[in-house]
């Protein structure tokens, strides 16, 4: 292997370690509370090395956010293909969309914890549109995915489309992610002290589906791992 190729591989590995270290620390605490020196220590590199990859903390935070949503989308696409999503009617595809957020809660609570802090942080830091461009592109693919649902609904009539597509998407995404994020952070627990809130998210999904879909919705709870 040539020196240039080896150097490129090593650089990519260090960058990945920094991103993973930053994500672990920020998801466990908050973005604001984690110092760059802590991330460098966690990744086992010097602070000067960190600054060679990321000029500012917001640059690091935005790349972390971009990467986690890209990975999540890849998981959604894999599950979509396994379920033959293209052959679903609009209502079934909407239910799949909501189920994917429930699965995010079940399998990736750290992503939800990071995400709840992310928007506040980038607004406080006054991140520019150019800085946010990669992140916004990573998130925009979900709106495109949702557009497929709406396009099907216009043909098969299985979803009530009296609300505009942008408003429907934002409201559904906000409701499910916001509630799932609060559960992931432990901000809301039922009286019995149970910490797994999957049933509550499934109930919320059913309420959303019942309000939009004129057919019986599956009440089956996702299998626990």
Question: Which of 84-93, 125-134, 210-219 shows the lowest per-residue confidence on average (mean pLDDT)?
Answer: 210-219
Q: Is the pLDDT of residue 14 over 70?
A: yes
What is the CA angle 164-165-168, rounded to 5?
85
pTM: predicted TM-score of the whole model, two decimal places: 0.86
Q: 108 and 46 in one domain?
A: no
Closest CA to 116 of 34, 76, 174: 174
Q: 31 and 141 in one domain?
A: no
Q: Are the C-beta atoms of residues 39 and 60 closer than 8 Å to each other?
A: yes
Q: Are the C-beta atoms of residues 54 and 60 closer than 8 Å to each other?
A: yes
Two structure tokens written together for 70: 């890209």
Q: 9 and 75 in one domain?
A: no
Q: Is the pLDDT of residue 36 over 90?
A: yes
Q: Give the pLDDT band (50/70/90) at residue 220.
A: very low
What are residue 28's phi and psi, to 5 degrees? -75, -40
Measured between alpha carbons, how far is 80 from 74 in angstroms, rounded to an integer?
Answer: 10
Q: 103 and 6 in one domain?
A: no
**Residue 177 falls within a domain, yes or no?**
yes
CA 68 from chain centre, in angstroms, equals 7
Domain range for residue 22?
1-55
Q: Is the pLDDT of residue 192 over 70?
A: no
Q: 55, 74, 94 — which closes off a domain?
A: 55
Q: Are the C-beta atoms of residues 68 and 114 closer than 8 Å to each other?
A: yes
Measured between alpha carbons, how far is 150 from 91 in angstroms, rounded to an integer?
Answer: 9
Measured between alpha carbons, how far is 213 from 205 in angstroms, rounded to an integer?
Answer: 12
**Residue 224 falls within a domain, yes or no?**
no
Return mean pLDDT, the chain.
Answer: 89
Q: 136 and 47 in one domain?
A: no
Across 179-189, average pLDDT: 83
How distant, in Å, are the alpha carbons of 46, 82, 133, 134, 177 from that of 22?
14, 32, 20, 18, 22
**Other beta carbons less than 10 A from residue 148's beta carbon:** 16
Task: Report pLDDT for 188.
Answer: 62
Split into its structural domains, the chain has a count of: 2
pLDDT tens digits, one per residue of 105-145: 999 999 999 998 898 999 999 999 999 999 999 999 999 99
Q: Is the pLDDT of residue 217 over 80?
A: no
Q: 93 and 109 in one domain?
A: yes
Closest CA to 131 of 184, 52, 193, 58: 58
Measured between alpha carbons, how far is 76 from 82 in angstroms, rounded to an integer?
Answer: 10
């Amino acid at each position: 292997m040539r020196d240039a190729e080896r150097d490129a591989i090593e650089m990519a590995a260090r960058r990945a370690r920094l991103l993973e270290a930053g994500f672990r620390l920020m998801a466990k605490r908050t973005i604001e509370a984690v110092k760059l020196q802590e991330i460098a220590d966690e990744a086992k590199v010097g602070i000067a090395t960190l600054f060679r990859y990321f000029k500012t903390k917001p640059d690091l935070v935005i790349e972390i956010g971009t990467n986690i949503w890209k990975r999540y989308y890849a998981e959604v696409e894999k599950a979509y293909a396994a379920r033959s999503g293209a052959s679903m009617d609009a209502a079934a595809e909407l239910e799949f969309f909501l189920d994917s957020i429930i699965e995010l809660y079940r399998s990736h609570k750290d992503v939800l914890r990071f995400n709840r802090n992310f928007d506040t942080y980038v607004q406080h830091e006054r991140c520019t549109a150019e800085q946010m461009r990669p992140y916004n592109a990573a998130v925009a693919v979900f709106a495109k995915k949702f557009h497929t649902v709406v396009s099907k609904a216009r043909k098969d009539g299985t979803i009530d489309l009296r609300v505009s597509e942008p408003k429907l998407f934002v409201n559904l995404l906000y409701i499910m992610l916001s509630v799932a994020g609060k559960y992931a952070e432990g901000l809301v627990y039922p009286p019995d002290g149970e910490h797994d809130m999957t049933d509550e998210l499934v109930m919320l999904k059913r309420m959303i589906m019942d309000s939009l879909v004129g057919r019986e919705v599956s009440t089956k709870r996702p299998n626990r791992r």
